[in-house]
């Protein structure tokens, strides 16, 4: 089983975390199963960017991003070359280091209605 290191995030994972991951699961599901409550406003349907993560190590081992995911990522806050939507990134057998961006673009959770 690959190991995933989640770097500290002030709200979602203040101390960081290290978890064993099941191959074939998405990063989003792995986070949620390990009490890292990342937003997923579209219910993991690849229709928003609230579950955006930065893959600091192991990026190339993840499933390939679809064209739809790439289009959504263009809207993400803090987009980088190693950005993925965690609801779409399927874990393989390589260890990963994941950073959750400081901000997300979620109009409802940011007080806009």
pLDDT single digits (tens) 21-79: 999 999 999 999 999 999 999 999 999 999 999 999 999 999 999 999 999 999 999 99
Residue 65: name the closest of 77, 53, 57, 73 by CA. Answer: 73
- CATH 3.10.620.30, domain 3-107, yes or no: no
Query: Domains of the chain: which residue ranges?
Result: 3-107
pTM, 2 dp? 0.91
């Amino acid at each position: 089983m690959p190991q995933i290191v989640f770097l500290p995030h002030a709200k979602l994972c203040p101390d960081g975390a290290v978890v064993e991951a099941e191959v074939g699961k998405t990063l989003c599901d792995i986070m949620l199963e390990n009490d890292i409550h990342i937003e997923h406003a579209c219910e993991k349907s690849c229709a928003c960017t609230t579950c955006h993560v930065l893959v600091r190590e192991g990026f190339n081992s993840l499933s390939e991003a679809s064209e739809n995911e790439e289009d959504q990522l263009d809207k993400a806050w803090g987009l980088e070359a190693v950005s993925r939507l965690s609801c779409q990134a399927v874990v393989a057998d390589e260890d990963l280091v994941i950073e959750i961006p400081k901000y997300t673009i979620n109009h409802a959770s940011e007080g806009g209605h």
